[in-house]
Amino acid sequence: MGAADPKQGRFPISAEAPDWSRERKALLAWDPGRSLLASIRAHQRHSGSRSLLAWTGRKLAVLRHRFWGAVAGADIPVNCKISGGLLVPHPNGIVIHPEASIGPNCLIFQQVTIGIGAGGVPTIKGHVDIGAGAKLLGGIFVGAHAKIGANAVVIGDVPEGATAIGVPARIITRS
């Protein structure tokens, strides 16, 4: 981990305030992950209203979501509880349960599953990095600024700032 900017505190990326620039997509860029997120955000924007225009916007967002979900090879429901600033640089194979909660400024790599298990679905706080192939299952809590290693199977809570690796995952560092 690089040196943190002393003006920003210990962790330079916020776990509370979403950084919407992380989801920004260039106008004509081929970026399936950001395009999929844009369709989810469009659906969220139009969900609060019952007007005809909002209904049309929701339907178009769902069509865009289905297209980009197929292109990206990801199963991220349009009604997911995902805070802003999510990065999915390689969305292939990502599966997220619709009731799982993901905090702001998280990073999720390919082949990650965030799913139901004993006790419910995961709650992931802000600025959590999840490595490729990781599985987060059940009613677990992952604290802010945590890191989940590639191919880890997390079935227990991960404290704030900790790193979890292995099958089943175990905590190797705490910040």
Kindly write down the DSSP assignment for every residue of 25-78, as one continuous string: --TT---HHHHHHHHHHHHHHHTT--SHHHHHHHHHHHHHHHHHHHHHT-B--T
- Domain range summary for the chain, segments of one domain joined by +: 31-72, 78-175
pTM of the model: 0.86
| pLDDT score recorded for residue 6 | 42
| pLDDT score recorded for residue 174 | 67
Q: For Cα atoms 83, 75, 88, give the angle at the middle one, nearest 5 degrees.
A: 50
- 108 vs 12 pLDDT, higher one: 108
Sheet of strand 81-82, all strands in order from the earlier edge strand to the far edge: 81-82, 101-102, 123-124, 141-142
Mean per-residue pLDDT over the chain, rounded: 89
Please state, in angstroms and rounded to a whole number, the distance separating the CA atoms of residues 175 and 159: 9
Q: List the structure tokens of 40.
A: 């989810």
Please state, in angstroms and rounded to a whole number, the distance separating the CA atoms of residues 109 and 121: 19
Confidence of residue 145 (pLDDT cuts 50, 70, 90): very high
The number of C-alpha atoms within 13 Å of 32 and in the hemisphere containing its C-beta is 17
Residue 118: pLDDT over 90:
no
Residue 5: pLDDT over 50:
no
| pLDDT score recorded for residue 1 | 40
Tell me: the pLDDT tens digits for 34-81? 999 999 999 988 887 888 888 899 899 999 999 999 999 999 999 889
Please state, in angstroms and rounded to a whole number, the distance separating the CA atoms of residues 144 and 125: 5
Q: How many helices (H) and strands (E) does the chain have?
A: 2, 13
Phi (first) and psi of residue 42, to 5 degrees? -65, -40
Query: What sign for the dihedral angle of Cα 64, 81, 120, 160?
Result: positive
Please state, in angstroms and rounded to a whole number, the distance separating the CA atoms of residues 126 and 119: 21
CATH number assigned to the domain covering 78-175: 2.160.10.10
Find out whether 133 and 154 touch, Cβ atoms under 8 Å.
Answer: no
